[in-house]
Amino acid sequence: MAEEKFDAIIVGGGIAGCITGYILAKAGLETLIIERGNFAGSKNMTGGRLYAHSIEKIFPNFAEEAPIERAIVHEKISFMEEKSSVTMDYAAPKDDEKSNRSYTVLRTKFDQWLGDKAEEAGVGLIPGVRVDDVITRNGKVCGVVAGGEEMEADVVVLADGANSILGEKLGMVSKVTPHNCAVGVKEVIQLTKEQVNDRFACTDDEGTAWLFAGTPSDGYMGGGFIYTNEDTISLGVVFGLHNIEKAGKSVPQMLEDFKNHPSVKPLVKGGESVEYSAHVVPEGGYNMLPKMVGNGVLLVGDAAGLCLNVGYTVRGMDLAIASGEAAANAILAAKEKNDFSENSLSSYTKELDDSFVMKDLKLYKDLPEFLDNKRMFNDYPEMATGIMKGMFTVNGPSQPLRKTVMPYLKKVGFINLMKDAFKGVKSI
Ligand SMILES: Cc1cc2nc3c(=O)[nH]c(=O)nc-3n(C[C@H](O)[C@H](O)[C@H](O)COP(=O)(O)OP(=O)(O)OC[C@H]3O[C@@H](n4cnc5c(N)ncnc54)[C@H](O)[C@@H]3O)c2cc1C
């Protein structure tokens, strides 16, 4: 039997866990975060872009204090073929409205800052300890087993990220399968601040987010990304695991080939790889969400499958923050009533339903199926680069543009083109 009972124990000191802990401790609840890594963020990875809206609500003007890298003012999307690429480029000044902005972050620094904030608010943060099990009594979760000790709490929050083993043990989360997740591999490449500025047309505190569709994921669902940090870049590839057997190479090889693509090589030239990481991305979307509330237990962030990849934006961190806030609100309301039953805690999912989290997940619920189409990552990038080549190559008499375009349209097929356009519009 445990000696001390907490109001809340949070498993995982990532973004979702630290936000939940911060709000609970600030309201005076005895809160413990247990993190298996040596410090908050030590084991965490992301592509790199944090949409500010949800964290601005909790820490107004957070970017003035938090270790953010650069504000994104430059958006690029490339369709990439073996040796060429076509890029759409959108640049706009930093938005005056702070909650409209987005920032690049490195999780080792950013999560540590959030962990410190949680500790300052009164959270007990235990790093370097893994939670091995959840204690259930009379059908209610009432604590955890960590480091060989039992620790009790009115409520346990599972913020243990994608592939929540504890959520699975409780029967709330389905086993990770190649059909509901992708894998991301990423390198952080050291350059100088001036090199980042020059190569990506940035100023000192402003930067670029760049997504690539086509060859980076070997023509299958997924893609490449580059985010500019202060004096490094985050470069990676995300790949939908259900296609792994069909792919002609491993995901680390895709990353290597992406770095060596003629459009990318000059951007990383002379840079030194200072971090290499791989992580699961929950990609099932709305149709594969787990059970998020039980008696004495809540799931937040990636553990709850709250991640959204719509092709031109990848989001999980703003959803993790909003879910942490909603979970904390539900726990505070449950504490008032001293009722931590599933029914009482279900105000969590009601708040999520009314928020952008569920609204956006619902809006894009058909997108994973739409994107899982080889034409998106093969034929269309090939068509885009081929048309550009035709338009910009002059060697003797020019031919009408329709003659350049026609072979690509024929290859894709007019019916497929119409189907994809219709389904694409419908799914967004
Ligand atoms: C390649 C890639 C690119 C991405 N790009 C973006 C992007 O650009 N923008 C965006 O918003 N999102 C992006 N995401 C998604 C985003 O990173 C996640 O949604 C987000 O990190 C989820 O935060 P979390 O706190 O829920 O989980 P995590 O950050 O995974 O934190 C979980 C924490 O729990 C700890 N933990 C796990 N098990 C235990 C245990 N048993 N005991 C104790 N501690 C435990 C872990 O060590 C970790 O600290 C990307 C993800 C990947 C993989």
- Condensed to tens digits (0 to 9), the pLDDT of residues 152-197 reads 999 999 999 998 999 999 999 988 888 888 999 999 999 999 999 9
CATH code 3.50.50.60 for 5-67+106-173+290-354: yes
DSSP 232-244: EEEEEEEEEGGGT
Output the six-digit token pair for 323: 């879910």
- Residue 115 Cα, ligand 1 centroid: separation in angstroms? 14
User: Can you list the residues of the chain whose pLDDT is less than 70?
Assistant: 1-3, 427-428
Predicted pLDDT of residue 2: 54
Pocket test for ligand 1, best of 51, 281, 319 (most atoms within 8 A of CB): 281
**Collapsed DSSP state (helix, strand, coil) of residue 302:** helix
Q: Answer yes or no: is the C-beta of 34 below 6 A from any ligand 1 atom.
A: yes
Task: Give distance in angstroms: CA of 283 to centre of ligand 1.
Answer: 13
Atom of ligand 1 nearest to the CA of 307: 19
Instruction: Tell me the CA–centroid distance for residue 161 and ligand 1, in Å.
Output: 5
Cβ(156) to ligand 1 under 6 A? no
pLDDT of residue 304: 97
Q: Which amino acid belongs to residue 190?
A: Q
Distance from the alpha carbon of residue 109 to the mean position of ligand 1, in angstroms: 14
Report the alpha-carbon distance of residue 107 to residue 112 in Å, rounded.
8
Ligand 1 close to Cβ of residue 14 (< 6 A): yes
With a 6 Å cutoff on the Cβ, whether 47 touches ligand 1 is yes
Interval between CA 407 and ligand 1 midpoint (Å): 44
Q: CATH number of the domain at 181-282, please?
A: 3.30.9.90
Assess whether the C-beta atom of 259 lies below 6 angstroms from ligand 1. no
Please give the pLDDT value at position 241: 87
Per DSSP, the residues of 73-112 read EEEEEEEE-SS-EEEEEEE-PPPSSGGG-EEEE-HHHHHH
The response to whether residue 16 sits with its C-beta less than 6 Å from ligand 1 reads: yes
SS3 (DSSP) at 159:
coil
Nearest CA to ligand 1 atom 49: 14
pLDDT value at position 206?
96
Output Rg (C-alpha) for the chain, integer angstroms.
23
3-state secondary structure of 367: helix
